[in-house]
């Protein structure tokens, strides 16, 4: 086994520093508690392949430097030693960071630890998967995929390595053959593998820049227009690049340290559905529901037991449309919700009621609006 160390100074404000800060803000962990890792293997199945490289990236507070360490199997018997060394190393951190490591890296290593009868280090450390936090934001970044290579381009990371993980398997095989023959080419093949892993680590670090779009928004102002309500928010930090997405319920856009959420306003007639429909009568001629305590005084031919689909009160006026994800909060806040019909999901609130809401309301409701 070979151990390769690198150090790199961090410049405050550069992308790497901002990426570490994003991780700290989003996870709540201290900078010195975080370690990023990535592995290279000779196949996808831990049962029939070998681990030949683990890389780690972290910030050393004492030296005030970003450090990288790689444990490389330069023979066919180092796998167990790499696992033991890595386990001891990560025990000094509280949070291990990765990109889709929950889908491959960690399950692979856990099988290897069991195979070698070693203690599983992931049982004692918090795991944070950047991919799982950002994968629902494809529409925001106008991308059909958020695999690491795509995200690296989004954040402007230019890899020095041009090989895929599959190609690296062949390169490792060539390295081992060249090493047996003591060829100088072996060192060149090894450098390709180390560079690929190092770029994966750097790419994973920079992918955390996307977490800035996931941090809580802070209400700043609202602006009514003829058919929209524009809510202006402050982001905790400048976002890496302008972007946005549009749904049936709202438009969300980011630029620098601002975010804008646009809700639609409409004039019409909507229905407020009562929950306990068995306690109501439906009046067909008036197309409304009334409570049985009052409905008993209506002649029987003009009333019928209400169903969930017609147990409503209709209201005409100007409304603001909200996504269904905000329904529970709006109800807890005491607002009356209206819908187009029983089975439609978007909810509507009278514009007059929304105009009365203060900044605290908007601060609290924002996460429910954008969680679609």
SS (H, E, C) 155-188: CCCCCCCCCCHHHHHHHHHHHHHHHHCCCCHHHH
Residue 83 structure tokens: 């696992």
Residue 316: C-alpha distances to residues 319, 338, 339 (Å): 9, 10, 12
Confidence of residue 10 (pLDDT cuts 50, 70, 90): low
Pairing of strands 312-322, 304-305: unpaired
pLDDT at 8 over 80: no
Tens of pLDDT, residue by residue over 218-230, are: 999 999 998 999 9
Sorted by where each begins, the domain ranges of the chain are 2-212, 217-274+311-370
Which pTM value belongs to this model?
0.90
Which pLDDT score is estimated for 226? 85
Residue 77 structure tokens: 């018997």
pLDDT at 371 over 90: no
Residue 293: C-alpha distances to residues 246, 279, 281, 307 (Å): 45, 8, 9, 17
92 C-beta neighbours (distance < 10 Å), count? 11
Contact (CB, 8 A) for 237 and 257: yes
Class of domain 2-212: alpha beta
Distance from C-alpha of 38 to C-alpha of 47, rounded to nearest angstrom: 19
Which DSSP string do the residues of 289-305 spell out, in sequence order? EEEHHHHTTS-GGG-EE
Confidence of residue 181 (pLDDT cuts 50, 70, 90): confident
Which pLDDT score is estimated for 318? 97
Q: What is the Cα 367 distance to its own chain's centre?
A: 13
Which pLDDT score is estimated for 47? 94
CA angle 366, 367, 372 (to 5 degrees): 110
Distance from C-alpha of 354 to C-alpha of 333, rounded to nearest angstrom: 11
Question: Which of 73, 57, 85, 36 lies closest to 190 in space, CA to CA?
Answer: 73
Distance from C-alpha of 221 to C-alpha of 247, rounded to nearest angstrom: 22
Which pLDDT score is estimated for 6? 85
Q: For tokens 């997405």, what's the residue?
A: 245
Check residue 337 and report its DSSP letter.
P
Tens of pLDDT, residue by residue over 37-63, are: 999 999 999 999 999 999 999 999 888
Which pLDDT score is estimated for 188? 95
């Amino acid at each position: 086994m070979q151990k390769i160390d690198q150090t790199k100074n961090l410049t405050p404000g550069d992308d790497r520093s901002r990426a570490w800060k994003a991780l700290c803000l989003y996870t709540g962990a201290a900078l010195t508690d975080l370690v990023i890792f990535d592995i290279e293997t000779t196949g996808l199945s831990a049962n029939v392949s070998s681990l030949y490289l683990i890389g780690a990236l972290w910030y050393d507070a004492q030296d005030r430097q970003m450090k990288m360490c790689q444990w490389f199997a330069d023979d066919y018997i180092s796998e167990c030693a790499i696992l033991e060394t890595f386990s001891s190393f990560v025990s000094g951190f509280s949070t291990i960071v990765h990109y889709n490591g929950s889908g491959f890296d960690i399950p692979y290593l856990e099988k290897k630890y069991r195979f070698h009868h070693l203690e599983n280090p992931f049982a004692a450390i918090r795991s944070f998967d950047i991919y799982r936090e950002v994968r629902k934001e494809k529409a925001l970044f106008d991308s059909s995929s958020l695999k690491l290579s795509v995200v690296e381009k989004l954040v402007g990371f230019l890899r020095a390595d041009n090989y895929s993980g599959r190609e690296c398997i062949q390169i490792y095989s060539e390295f081992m053959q060249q090493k047996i023959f003591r060829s100088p080419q072996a060192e060149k093949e090894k450098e390709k593998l180390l560079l690929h892993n190092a770029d994966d680590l750097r790419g994973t670090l920079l992918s955390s820049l996307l977490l800035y779009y996931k941090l809580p928004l802070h209400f700043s102002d609202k602006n009514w227009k003829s058919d929209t309500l524009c809510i202006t928010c402050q982001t905790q930090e400048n976002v890496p690049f302008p972007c946005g997405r549009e749904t049936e319920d709202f438009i969300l856009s980011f630029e620098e340290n601002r975010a804008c959420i646009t809700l639609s306003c409409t004039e019409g007639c909507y229905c407020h559905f009562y929950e306990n429909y068995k306690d109501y009568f439906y009046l067909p001629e008036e197309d409304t529901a009334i409570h049985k305590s009052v409905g008993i005084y209506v002649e029987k031919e003009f009333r019928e037991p209400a169903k969930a689909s017609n147990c409503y009160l209709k209201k005409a006026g100007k409304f603001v449309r909200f996504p269904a994800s905000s329904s529970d909060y709006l109800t807890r806040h005491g607002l009356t919700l209206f819908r187009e019909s029983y089975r439609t999901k978007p909810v509507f609130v009278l514009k007059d009621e929304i105009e009365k809401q203060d900044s605290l309301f908007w601060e609290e409701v924002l996460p429910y609006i954008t969680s679609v």
